[in-house]
């Protein structure tokens, strides 16, 4: 199996109230294989979101390395400038955040098209591509609605479409089914499975949901700042 990502000995602490330092990650190591559905579990506050932000490069570890394997090249993220990392994220990495972060004043369609427009695409082309992708994720007809006018499941599909619009190779999703009922959760899981088949996209998903975990290929469990177990699901 081909690796797409390798993290070695990741440490991260935060300063709380300006003085008390808390060590959140204390030597996390993991590999993710191309095209796999990798799931991260553990109690609230254990550091799942923190780890996703470090793996996805918006955040940096205090110690340790995050390495990508893309286009036949090895990319050592600590040797890259912030601009280079922003470009890497824009071209190769998608994010679905714990709180979806759709922009409230823009329509569903505009929210999805925005990353393309930011990347320099013409607005008309970006909107057409966004429409196509929204249809692919099972979101139709409500293109002109703003996030507040959509259900939680619809908002989450918009967030997925936005994460996918630049055709990333790897998507980090933080609690993507957090507020969804079981029917909407299943739709998101179907969507993940379809995107993996059609586009070989790799998914790294943090979740509390055993339903989501049972759809993953491997489950990493976190406790006390480390991954203490990685199990493989029988399919």
Ligand X SMILES: Nc1ncnc2c1ncn2[C@@H]1O[C@H](COP(=O)(O)OP(=O)(O)OP(=O)(O)O)[C@@H](O)[C@H]1O
Q: Where are the alpha helices (DSSP H) in 16-139?
A: 48-55, 82-92, 108-118, 123-136
Q: State the DSSP H helix or E strand holding residue 204, giving kind and residue range, or none if neither.
A: strand 202-206
Q: Which listed range, 47-55, 109-117, 126-134, 138-146, lies at the site for ligand X (CB under 6 A)?
A: 47-55
Contact (Cβ atoms closer than 8 angstroms) between residue 120 and residue 156: no
- Asked if 205 touches ligand X (CB under 6 A), the answer is no
Q: Rounding to the nearest 10 degrees, give the CA dihedral for residues 118, 121, 122, 125.
A: -120
- Strands 218-223 and 226-232 turn out to be antiparallel
- Asked if 99 touches ligand X (CB under 6 A), the answer is no
Phi, psi of 29 (to 5 degrees): -125, 140
Nearest residue to Mg ion by CB is 49
Pick 36 or 175: Cβ nearer Mg ion? 175
Q: Which listed range, 46-54, 82-90, 103-111, 119-127, lies at the site for Mg ion (CB under 5 A)?
A: 46-54
Tokens of 175: 């609690």
- Asked if 100 touches ligand X (CB under 6 A), the answer is no
- Asked if 50 touches Mg ion (CB under 5 A), the answer is no
State which of residues 12, 28, 49, 126 lies at the interface with Mg ion (CB under 5 A).
Answer: 49
Binding site for ligand X (CB under 6 A): 14, 16, 24, 42, 44-50, 98
Binding site for Mg ion (CB under 5 A): 48-49
């Amino acid at each position: 199996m081909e690796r797409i990502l390798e993290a070695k000995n990741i440490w991260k602490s935060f300063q709380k109230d300006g003085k008390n330092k808390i060590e959140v990650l204390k030597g996390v190591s993991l590999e993710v294989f191309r095209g796999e559905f990798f799931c991260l579990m553990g109690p609230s506050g254990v550091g799942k979101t923190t780890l996703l932000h470090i793996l996805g490069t918006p955040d940096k570890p205090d110690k340790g390395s995050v390495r990508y394997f893309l286009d036949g090249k090895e990319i050592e993220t600590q040797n890259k400038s912030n601009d280079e990392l922003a470009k890497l994220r824009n071209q190769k990495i998608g994010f679905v955040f714990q709180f979806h972060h759709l922009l409230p004043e823009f329509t569903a369609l505009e929210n999805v098209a925005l990353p393309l427009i930011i990347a320099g695409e013409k607005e008309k082309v970006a909107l057409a591509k966004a429409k196509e992708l929204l249809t692919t994720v099972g979101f139709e007809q409500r293109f002109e609605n703003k996030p507040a006018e959509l259900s939680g499941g619809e908002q989450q599909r918009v967030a997925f479409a936005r994460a996918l619009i630049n055709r990333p190779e790897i998507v980090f999703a933080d609690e993507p089914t957090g507020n969804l009922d079981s029917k909407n959760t299943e739709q998101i899981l179907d969507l993940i499975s379809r995107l993996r088949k059609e586009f070989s996209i790799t998914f790294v998903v943090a979740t509390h949901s055993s339903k989501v975990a049972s759809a993953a290929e491997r489950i990493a469990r976190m406790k006390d700042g480390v991954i203490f177990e990685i199990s493989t699901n029988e399919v």
